[in-house]
Structure formats: C-alpha cells, structure tokens
Amino acid sequence: MESDEIEIAEPPVFEMEQKVRLRKLIRNDGTFPGIDIGTPLAKKGDVGYVVGIGTYLQMYYIYAVHFLEKGVVIGCRKKELEPVEEAS
C-alpha cells in the first residue's frame, strides 16, 4: 500500500516551476484557511505550476501548486498530480 512508502527517501518527482495537472478533485481538508472543510478547492484537470516543495510527517513530499486561473496555491501529494507535457 502506498501509505507505507517513504517518498522523501528519493528526490522529489516534480521540480520547481514544473507545469502539472490535477488527477482528482481537491477539497479543503482543514488546512486551507477561511474555507469550510469539504469545500472543493480545485478540480480534476486544473493546471498549475509547482512553486514550493515541502515535506509532511517526514514521509511525503507536499508540492505547493499555484493554480493561476483560480489564484490559489494548494498543497498536493504526488499521487494527486501528473506532469503536463509542453509542446516543443
């Protein structure tokens, strides 16, 4: 099960300023101030940019993703994101 995986034993999957897309709906789990718990913050398919990389419980990376269209920065786990391929 993924919950046993210690992500920080390896380098982060995503890089600063990397363009990413949400793989699932993100709701407020109580860590986003001023909004009720359970309120949707961003939806599947929304695109943003990694603006910070932190850790949680000394196990997981948390990627601060700036969703420009919504004007919010949301902390996301690796499993909630996928890279957006840039057209070359």
C-alpha dihedral sign at 6, 8, 13, 17: positive
86, pLDDT greater than 80: no
pTM score, two decimals?
Answer: 0.86
Q: Please give the Cα distance from 82 to 88 (Å, whole number).
A: 18
Contact present, 68 and 48 (Cβ < 8 Å): yes
Q: pLDDT (tens digit, 9 = 90+) per residue, 13-66?
A: 999 999 999 999 999 989 888 999 999 999 999 999 999 999 988 899 999 999
